[in-house]
Amino acid sequence: MKKTHKLYKYFLLSFVVILLDQAVKLLVHYNMDPGLAGEIKVLGSWLKIHYVLNPGMAFGLKLGSVYGKLILTLFRLLATVGIAYYMSLLVKRKAHTGLIWCVALILAGAVGNVVDSTFYGVFLNNAPAGSPTPWFHGQVIDMIYLDIWEGHLPKWLGGQYYALWPIFNIADSAIFLGVAVILVMQRRFFKDAEDKKQDNETNKDTTTPSAGTTAN
């Protein structure tokens, strides 16, 4: 019962982040116009709410195939199952709690974007034109725009208009935060795991009968 309760609280964090992510996406979808027409400035030109649809991966990358989106969505589904299983293993192995919280954030972000890809093509009718089926072809809703710099590049770099930062959503933020904290704290997170492994091996060696010893 104790292990189940521990696992439950991490999944609860994932569930809360997923709900928040989906609530914000639906609020944006039903209350904002896409693009510049519906843009809302929060902190001047630095932080804006800007509704866009992302048909592919992070930063708008795509797989160059008719079934590329389907492959991407199925991959996301498999990755989500893998992350959930990995988090369960971490709890079972009594890994550092900070590491498990970070994995819970990553899981939430993965699920949040999987929901968009799987269902939004049907329920929000936002699948790209020409999609073989609206299922698994939904476009991810992005809205958080950190506009650090935007403008035209110098002519010797092409002179094209360019925005420094991409537009993202709460699910992306959860993934980024989880990964960033793991990278910064990896020595502490994984040192504890290594110490526990060594302690278990030491305890095993001390309790294992030496060679040639027979039980009475």
Which positions are catalytic?
142, 172
Please, how many CA atoms are within 13 Å of residue 73, restricted to the half-sphere of its CB? 23
Alpha-helix residue ranges (DSSP H) falling in the chain: 2-31, 68-92, 97-123, 170-207
> How far is it, in rounded angstroms, from Cα 88 to Cα 84?
6
> How far is it, in rounded angstroms, from Cα 126 to Cα 157?
35
> How far is it, in rounded angstroms, from Cα 106 to Cα 114?
12
